[in-house]
Each structure stands twice: as C-alpha cells, then as structure tokens.
Structure 1
C-alpha cells in the first residue's frame, strides 16, 4: 500500500513542478527539454524494445502509424489539423491511462519478497515525468481542471490495477494489447515531438535570448537524461531481461566499444580541417569526399570492422563521389558556417552535426536488430535500410556507427556495406537535387557495389580491443562532448537534424495553423 501511495504522490508532483517552472520562460524551456528527453527516451529505450519482444516487427508498423499518421492527416486535411492533433493527444493520454493499470499491478509484484525494491522505485520515479507530461500536454489545450481530472483518473486506475488481481492484469497484459499499445506509443511520440507550446514571447525573438533559452532547455534535457539513466538502471536491476543482447546494457557495451574510436574520428576531423580540407571548399569533389567519408568515418570502419571493410568502403565512396562530382550534383545540407579553430571544428562543430545520428544509429540498431524482428534475409535487410534512409539525412559518422551496430547484431555484410556507402546520400533531400538520370546512375552504382559485396563476402573483425579503462574514460569524455552540444543547441534543435524536422515548434492556434 505504501508503494501505491508513493506513486500517486509522484503523479501529483507534476502540477507543482509545472507551476514553478512555467512561471518564467527560461524555466518553461527547461521543463520542455526535461519532458522531451525523459518521456521520449523511455519510449525509445524501454517501451519499444518490449513491444518488439511481444509483437514483433508488426508492432513497429503500428508505432509508425501512430506517430506519422496524425502528421499526414494534418497535411492532407489542413482545415482539420486542430481536430487531428487533439485526437492524437487523447490517444496519447488514453495510452498513459491504460499503462497506469499495469503500473498498479507491477507494484503488487514489487511487494513480493523475491523481487528487488528497485522495481518499485523505478515505477514510482517514472511517474514523475508522466505526471509532468500530462500537465504539460493537457493544460495548454483544455485547461487545468481537465488536466487534474486526467491525473485523478490515473491515480484511480493505478488503484484498480493494484487491487484488481491477476485476472484483469492478464486481460490487459502486453501480449493481449501489444498492437493497441504500439499505436498509442506512436501517438505519444507524435505529441512529444510536436510540442503544444508553439508560442514565443517577444523577448525570445532575439538571438541572445533564444540562445539563453536553449541553454535552459539543454539543462532540462540533461536532467531528463539523468532520470532516464537512473530508471533504466533500476529496471535492469529490478527484473531479468529475456533478450539481454538487446537491452540497455547492450547499448552501453556498444558505446564503450565506440568511445575511443569516435574521439579519434573527431580528432581526425579537426586535423583534416587544419590541413585545408574544409566543408566550404570551392572544389566540389573535396566537398563530396567530406560528405561521404570525412575521412573520419573511415577511422570507425577500419578500427571496428577491419581494414578490409574500410578498403571496400573507401573504393566505393571514391567511385560514388566521382560520379556525383562529374554529374555536378551539389551536396544537401551544406555547412553554412564553420569555426576557425581546428579544435572547435572537430570537437564542437562536427559533434553538433553527428551526435544525434550516432545516438539514433545505436537506438535503431538496437530495435531493428532485435531477435523478435524477422529480418534474416539480406534482401529484406537492404530493403528496410533503404526505406529507413529515405526520410533522413544521415551523416557519414552516423552511417558508420549504424553499420557497426548492425554488424555486431549479426546482419549481413551487404546491409552493413549499404549503411557505409549509401546512408549519407540516399535520402529525399539529396535525391531531389538530382535529375532522373543522376538518380538512376547513383542507385545503379549502389546496387553494383552491393552485388560485388555479396559475391566476395568480405569478413569483418575488430582491428584491436581497447582496454576497459580507456573505453570508460573515452565514454565519459564523449558524454561530456554530447552534453555540451545539447546545451549549445537545446534538445529540439539537437534532434532537428533527423528526419528533415524543423526546430520550430509545432503549434495549433485557434486563429490559424502554424507548421
């Protein structure tokens, strides 16, 4: 009973925190960053892997429908975008209400003698961002009275789950509601990504104030990361994972492996900038070399996938780069400004452009490489990756990290090679800058590269294993670099590089619509 009371109190802290943080615009931005990271992170790192385990690849389809369906509806039926957004909000809140019943049941399990207290603490702590999120999402739309009704409903349903017994919990188990929960999870992601607080105060318009507020948002997001880390560690300590290879620990292992080499890649980026290889070079071939290979991306491939794979990648990228240069195709997303210092270029500018992709690549590989996702066929793997690349603008480092993670997950060498050579160019933004002839030539060349790779089947392997102490130090330094980038940009601008998103807020005003 004590756990039940504590979980309800945790929910009620949401309005209190919201009232305090929304009193000043900078604090409100911090609150936005906290919810954006903590709630979004819980979905990506905790909820989605569970949905995959119980529902397989079809669960991901329902998540995508729930996430992008409202956006498509708003674009197709612009007059009714307000209705669409509100329906999505209702679905998201409904999903959180449904989830509270299982929270209540989980607290019954947490009271058993053979279960760690960390499970109960994890449930109680994760109610903090949920309570905040409810107030943050609902109050601006329909007012504080209805927001309190929703919180009261959550507390009531938590009690229902706590006292209902095993029969109701069986009917509401993830196995029986996996696709519904997957769709609702997508709706939650949609609402989190498209924040309801789209208005900007007059003093925010200036660049100085905007930067200050993004700094507040960055601090909030770092606090969200801290809470997320605690929750995930408690979750792993509270009960066993059936799919350990694709748990949070696996992500940490990948980061430990990647840390030293990624830092070396950033150093190489600074060195090549000092030697005159700048992304603002007037020579188109040099710009394509940097877009495709860096050459810092080759460092990751050489050290963690082996020199042979790196040689294949280099030759392939040189051929693709030569074709694009000869065809006079300009790279999309140019570097509009670069710092003068090579150190800042490598460890700030390139970090800002690559950090979101590095993190996304690790999460994606953790999801699509999950044992519950039936993607053993190399052709299906390649097809899935090509569909995945289209709406995104992968950088070369992100492609290398994705290839590395997929290789470690047991994916075929053609799929790994596709991530290495096609991720930076096979996207809608870049393809729009090409004629049909140029697109056909690039796609044909990529197909030939994959065919040769499939025929030769080069074997990958790590060049060397780093000492654990070096990996840990490198991971800490890397985390500091990523945290600094988050503070500079704010969480939404940090993630805006992904999937061609704008960093502007997504607002729904009664007098008009802004997208």
Structure 2
C-alpha cells in the first residue's frame, strides 16, 4: 500500500515543479540529471538483467520496442495538421492512462517474496517526469482543470492495477508478464532519454551543466546505495550477473584503469599526442593507446596481449601504408599532460567504459542463448558498426565478455575489431582498404579458433587496493559528469551515428591541419578540427 501512495504522490510533483521546468532554471537540469542517472542505472544494471533471466534474449526486443516505439510514432504524426496532433496527444494520454494499470501491477509483483523492490522504486521514480509531462502537455492546451482530471485518473487506474494485481497474482507473475514488463521498462527508458521539457530548455551555452552534474552525482550516490543494499540483503541464485557482478568488475578493473590514465599522461608529456605528425603514431594511439595493452596484459593475460599486439600492429600498418585517416579525432588538445590524461581522456573514454560494462552485463547474461561463437561474433558486429569504441572501452568490453564466459573467439574479435570496425571509419576507406581490413580480421578469427588463448589474471591486487582504485575512478568519472552533465557525457556515444555522413569533412579538416602542423610545429598545442 505504501508503494501505491508513493506513486500517487510522485505524480503530484509534476504541477509543483512545472514552473521550474518551464522557467529554465538550474533546478530543472539538476532534477533531470538525478532522474537520468538513478533511474537509467536502475533499469540497465538491475531490472533488465532480472527480466532477461525470466524472458531470455527476446526480452531485449520488447525493451527496444518500448524505447523507440513512441519516437517512431511521434515522427510519423509530426508532419500532419494540428488536428492530427491533438488526436495523437489524446491517444498518447490514453496510452499513459492504460500504462498506469501496469505500474500498479508491477508494484504488486515487487512485493512478492523473492522479487526485488527496485522495480517498484523504478516505477515510483519514473512517475515524476511522467507527471511533469502530463502537466506540460495538457495545461497550456486544455487548462488546469482537465490536466488535474487526467492526473486524478492516472492515480485511480494505478489503484485499480494495484488491487486487481493482488487478486490475480498468478496471472501477473514475472514469468507470465515478462514481455509486458520489458515493454514497460523500455517506456521508462524512453521517458528518461527524451525528457518532455527538453526542447523548451536546450541550454545551448551549457549554463546549467554544473547543476545537471550535481544532480547526476546525487543520483549516482542513490543508485550505489540501493544496489549495495540489495546485494547485501539478498542471496541470489545467480551470482554471475546483476549488481554483484557489476561491482566485482568495477573493483577488478579500477586500479589498472587508473594506471592506464597515468601511462596516457606520461606518453602525452613525452610527445606521443593525438596531434602527432606521424599517421602511424596517431593510429597507434587510436588502436592501443598504448595504455590499453596494459589492461589486456594484466587482466586478460599475456596470450591475449600478444594476440592483440600483433593483430593491431597488422591493422595499424595497413591503415598507415594505405593512408587511411582516423574518424572522430580529438577536436582540441590541452597544453597540460595532466589535463589530457585525467581530463580529456577521461571525458572521452568514461562513457565507452560504462557502456562496455553495461553491454557485457546484458548480452553476456547466462539466460541469453548466445553460446555459438559465430552468433557471438555476429552480435558484436551489430554492436560495433554504428559506434566507434575507444581503445580502453574495447579492452574493458573484451574483459567483461571473457568474465561472462563468452568464447575466446568473441573476446579476440572484440580486441581487434571494436576500435576500427565502424560505419564512420569504413566511410573513410575505399573498397580495397575495407577488403584488406576484412582479411586481417578474418585471419585473426582463424588464429583465435586454432590457438588456445588462455585468459588469466596476471595481477591480483588486495581488496584494499581495489577499493582505493574504485574510489579514484569514481571521483574521476564523477568530475567528468560534473563538467559535462549526464546528457552531454553520454551523447559522445551517439556522435558517430549522427555525424557519420560528415566524417569525410572531419577527416579532411584533420588531415589539412596535420599538413599545416608540419610547417608550424610549435602550434600543436592549439589544434582544432
């Protein structure tokens, strides 16, 4: 009953915060950052793995349907008249009203023995932006009275779903409603990713990014607290995924990741920089760092490190000899080595590292039937093409997949393909270059299939050192969140998809700058795209 009351109260915050959302104050950005991180983290780290356990791989399809379905509908009806807009709005409000019944049922499921209360918490938290969305959509068009009636109807239908759920527990069990809950989970993610007030407050100058960063850090703290409480309070039958595994991965990689940032700082100070005149050395930095090789050596073992070294060397030689430019270059470069290693590089790599851990936590889930190495490689190919993994994100993904029990072929393919096999990079290559790259990757797969690449952790550190490393990495990533705000922080993951058609221009500008830099070597520290 407490969940039901809390969910109704959360809806009432919509009218209370409406004036702040519409005024463009820093409170809007702070609250947005808080919901974005805490709710998005709950869904990706805890709720989705639990749904995967009961529903398998097809669960992801329903999640994606919930995420992108509303967006597709909006684009479909956007070009028509205001009448169509009003019809669409009415249908959308009707869908939200029906959706609230599912919310009530989900809160009942959370109260069953063996189920986590985090699902109910996720439902309650996402009601806040939903309440704001209802008020923002309806009040300007139909007035306060009708907006209030809709909110009251949402609360009533939530109660109907809640009490009907108690009568129909067997029909509403997680096994029977897993796909419906996956769709609801996708809808929650849609609300998180596309805040309803987003086009009202674009904040193009970044005036409120600091407030957004503060909100995201508070959300991160709440997320960590809830997940630690859940980990400590439950003994799950599945210890190889979920929050326990996620925390274990973070503890393992943090000290080595910290050391890799130190190496990056050192090589920058010694002159190995993204603006180096040598295309070969620029490719070395893109593919391996070389700090990424350290992570492979210490956490995946020497065999994988040697395999990665020779594989990336072959790719680097091909790209250098055939004069292939690098997609998505560093737009600028700081003068300070410390600002590069612990600032710019953290800003660029942190989103990819987090994405790699989340991806491995989902597609590496034991309930997802991806035991066939060929199928694993195909799934990874679908992941790599629309993105452009950085070298640190690459090795973290390979490491997490190895820990999840994926085949050595998939792990080896990740090490070689992730930093180079993307649509944006392929657009900068002709068909002969692409064919030669494919031959190298195919040869790498054949070697990985024939040679045993045992995965062994070369370096095992004490728990105290791991915890210190985790605190340090958390502070670095938290500082990046504070500088950029959560949406700009994660927008780097989408840059390559949106700007892929323009990568030729980027490469041209980048190449022109390097030719200019040969004549003006002292200007390197002021490089621009």
TM-score w.r.t. length of structure 2: 0.84
Asked if structure 2 preserves the Cα contact closer than 8 Å seen for 1:14 and 1:128, the reply is no
Residue 60 of structure 1 is matched in structure 2 by 60
Say whether 1:342 aligns with 2:337: yes
Residue 510 of structure 1 is matched in structure 2 by none
Counterpart CA distance in 2 for 1:423 and 1:76 is: 34
- Cα distance change, pair 126–188 in 1 and its aligned pair in 2 (3 A): closer
Residue 185 of structure 1 is matched in structure 2 by 185
Residue 332 of structure 1 is matched in structure 2 by 327
Q: Which of residues 356, 359, 365 in structure 2 aligns to 1:361?
A: 356
Q: What is the aligned residue count? A: 491
Asked if structure 2 preserves the Cα contact closer than 8 Å seen for 1:402 and 1:419, the reply is yes
Residue 422 of structure 2 is matched in structure 1 by 427
Counterpart CA distance in 2 for 1:398 and 1:247 is: 20
SS in 2 for 1:171: coil
Asked if structure 2 preserves the Cα contact closer than 8 Å seen for 1:217 and 1:487, the reply is yes
Q: Which of residues 239, 244, 249 in structure 2 aligns to 1:249?
A: 244
Counterpart CA distance in 1 for 2:389 and 2:263 is: 19
- Cα distance change, pair 426–124 in 1 and its aligned pair in 2 (3 A): closer
Counterpart CA distance in 1 for 2:340 and 2:238 is: 40
Unaligned 5+ residue runs, structure 1?
505-515
Cα offsets for 1:346-404 (capped at 9, x unmatched):
11111000001111111111111111101111111111101111111211100100000
5 Å-filtered alignment, 1:218-237, equals 218-237=213-232
Asked if structure 1 preserves the Cα contact closer than 8 Å seen for 2:10 and 2:125, the reply is no
Say whether 1:298 aligns with 2:302: no
Say whether 1:129 aligns with 2:125: yes
Bigger mean CA deviation after superposition, 73-82 or 397-406 = 73-82
Cα offsets for 1:82-111 (capped at 9, x unmatched):
96996778757754541322214534x48x
Counterpart CA distance in 2 for 1:59 and 1:400 is: 27
Residue 101 of structure 1 is matched in structure 2 by 105
Bigger mean CA deviation after superposition, 235-244 or 403-412 = 235-244
Cα offsets for 1:218-270 (capped at 9, x unmatched):
11111222222233334445544332210201100000000100000011111
- Cα distance change, pair 374–430 in 1 and its aligned pair in 2 (3 A): same
Bigger mean CA deviation after superposition, 153-162 or 258-267 = 153-162
SS in 1 for 2:196: coil
Asked if structure 2 preserves the Cα contact closer than 8 Å seen for 1:92 and 1:185, the reply is no
Counterpart CA distance in 2 for 1:3 and 1:165 is: 13
Asked if structure 1 preserves the Cα contact closer than 8 Å seen for 2:103 and 2:123, the reply is no
- The root-mean-square deviation of aligned C-alpha atoms, in Å, is 3.1
Asked if structure 2 preserves the Cα contact closer than 8 Å seen for 1:103 and 1:161, the reply is no
Bigger mean CA deviation after superposition, 397-406 or 306-315 = 306-315
Counterpart CA distance in 1 for 2:270 and 2:344 is: 17
Unaligned 5+ residue runs, structure 2?
500-529
5 Å-filtered alignment, 1:474-489, equals 474-489=469-484
**How far is the alpha carbon of 1:59 from its aligned partner?**
0.9
Residue 388 of structure 1 is matched in structure 2 by 383
Residue 169 of structure 1 is matched in structure 2 by 169
Counterpart CA distance in 1 for 2:253 and 2:180 is: 36
**How far is the alpha carbon of 1:286 from its aligned partner?**
1.0
TM-score w.r.t. length of structure 1: 0.86
Counterpart CA distance in 2 for 1:145 and 1:435 is: 62
**How far is the alpha carbon of 1:169 from its aligned partner?**
2.6
- Cα distance change, pair 80–459 in 1 and its aligned pair in 2 (3 A): farther
Asked if structure 2 preserves the Cα contact closer than 8 Å seen for 1:407 and 1:416, the reply is yes
Residue 406 of structure 2 is matched in structure 1 by 411
